[in-house]
Amino acid sequence: MFPTFVMTATLAVAAAFASSAHAQPAVLQGVALQDHRQQPLGAAQLQGRPTLLHLVFTTCSSTCPTQVLDLALVRRALPADVRRRLRVLSLTVDPLSDTPQALAAYARRLDADRPGWHFVTGAPPQVHRVLDRLQALDTRQGPAQAADHRTQLYLYDGDGQLRLRLAGVPVDRRRLTDELTQLARLGPQP
């Protein structure tokens, strides 16, 4: 039997997540970001839509561009109705260098400047808040470098709940396409 304080704490955490469930993925709660089009990114843009989040930085010459190219192939393989509903967030781990302009050039260079795909940055404290929530950088050995970020893919449902975390290198394109299609078709249709 669980002690009362454990059950109370568990219910409080569940209630906190439930109250924000229709806003946006929990890791983005209370964070002000903007995309490569210099548009604010928040609850209004993500509410009710499945969201795929991953991490990038524009000066990466190895994993990031390969992952973006793979995600572009996945996006193209999705049925049109799923593509319209899905939001892809490519969040920078280097907000000092990755301005909206740098991210826009990066998205164009990789042929990923597509509707529903947001290359996201913000003030460093805002971006680092999300990175901390994702535990995206290993800081145990001192200040982490951008190249030390996780390559995982985070898939959120339309209620903002994390549904799946996949290895991002290599991207399992077939599985990701299937998972995104299933998730997008489970929720309410626009």
- Residue 43's pLDDT is 61
Whether 17 is in a domain gets the answer no
Has residue 12 been placed in a domain?
Answer: no
Q: Which two tokens stand for residue 117?
A: 């795909």
| CA end-to-end distance (rounded Å), the chain | 44
Number of domains observed in the structure of the chain: 1
Cα separation, 99 vs 101, in Å, equals: 5
Report residue 3's pLDDT band, with 50, 70 and 90 as the boundaries.
very low
pLDDT greater than 90 at residue 173 = yes
Which CATH number is 169's domain given? 3.40.30.10
The one-letter amino acid at 122: G
The answer to the question of residue 142 being in a domain is: yes
CA distance 130 to 116: 20
Q: Give whole-number Cα distances, 39 to 78, 129, 140, 155, 161, in Å.
A: 25, 19, 34, 22, 24
Q: Report the alpha-carbon angle 16-22-25, nearest 5.
A: 75
Domain membership flag for residue 18: no
Q: What is the mean pLDDT of the chain?
A: 83
Name the pLDDT band for 140 (thresholds 50, 70, 90): low
What would the mean pLDDT of 157-180 be, rounded to a whole number?
Answer: 92
Predicted pLDDT at 55: 95
Structure tokens at 76: 């193209």
Domain for residue 16, yes or no? no
For 44, the domain range is 23-186
Q: Within a domain: residue 103?
A: yes
- Per-residue pLDDT reduced to its tens digit, 14-27: 333 333 334 357 78
Report if residue 172 sits inside a domain: yes
Q: Per-residue pLDDT averaged across 165-179, rounded?
A: 94
Q: What confidence score (pLDDT) does residue 45 get?
A: 73
Check residue 88 and give its pLDDT. Answer: 97
Q: Which has more confidence, 139 or 34? A: 34
What would the pLDDT profile of 94-134 be if each residue is shown by its tens digit? 999 999 999 999 999 999 999 999 999 999 999 999 998 88
Query: Does some domain include residue 15?
Result: no
pLDDT digits (tens, 9 = 90+) for 38-62: 999 876 678 888 999 999 999 999 9
